[in-house]
Amino acid sequence: MDEKSHKLIEKEVNDIQLIPNWNSVVNTVNWYWHSRIFQDTTFLPVARAKDIQKISEKTPHIMNLWKEIQKKINDSLDYKCDFARAYINAQTYATDGLIHCDDGNYTAIYYPLSEWNIEWEGGTCFYNKNKTDVIHYNAYIPNRLVIFDANIPHRAMPITRECYKLRSVVVFKCVIDVNSEQYARKFYLDNPIK
């Protein structure tokens, strides 16, 4: 995002009221801060035009971010992708993320804070399928967007005790529109009827 858009998204993120003690994984102690932008359910109906209109009124700059994400995904996949969930997560020192896979097909994580010291850590770590080794680490870099296959095990990394800020991220859970013409074309070209 350009610098002006980045600052507007950061302001929206900072202005949203976060729920403390949010626990994303049932039967675990994994608390952090959370605010739903759209849905908190594992049943994934995509956001429709009326949903997007409501969200745009509440968080217009985060929705502009979504348009950029959607364009990147659509351009790279060559078929349409929509979001089914959108939210903000935030962590403080000593609130570590658990290794997990996401629902949906793709996850987009945006790092909205403009002031972040790389020594504070707080990036996103990706693991192999068996969760026995790290395959990639994305440092928390302001205005960075990370898009990845939702089936890749990953977690938010802890921040150091020298950090007195919330480690905030904007997350979009994305699903492929299997009813789109582009998807049908690719699916049938890749899987011809014999």
Q: What is the pLDDT along the chain (194 residues), one digit of tens a residue?
A: 999 999 999 999 999 988 777 666 666 666 677 888 887 555 556 777 787 888 888 899 999 999 999 999 888 877 788 888 899 999 999 887 889 999 889 999 999 999 999 999 999 999 999 999 999 999 999 999 999 999 999 999 999 999 999 999 999 999 887 777 776 676 666 666 66
pTM (2 d.p.): 0.87
Integer CA distances (angstroms), 73 to 34, 81, 131, in order: 25, 7, 26
What whole-number distance in Å separates Cα of residue 185 and Cα of residue 126? 31
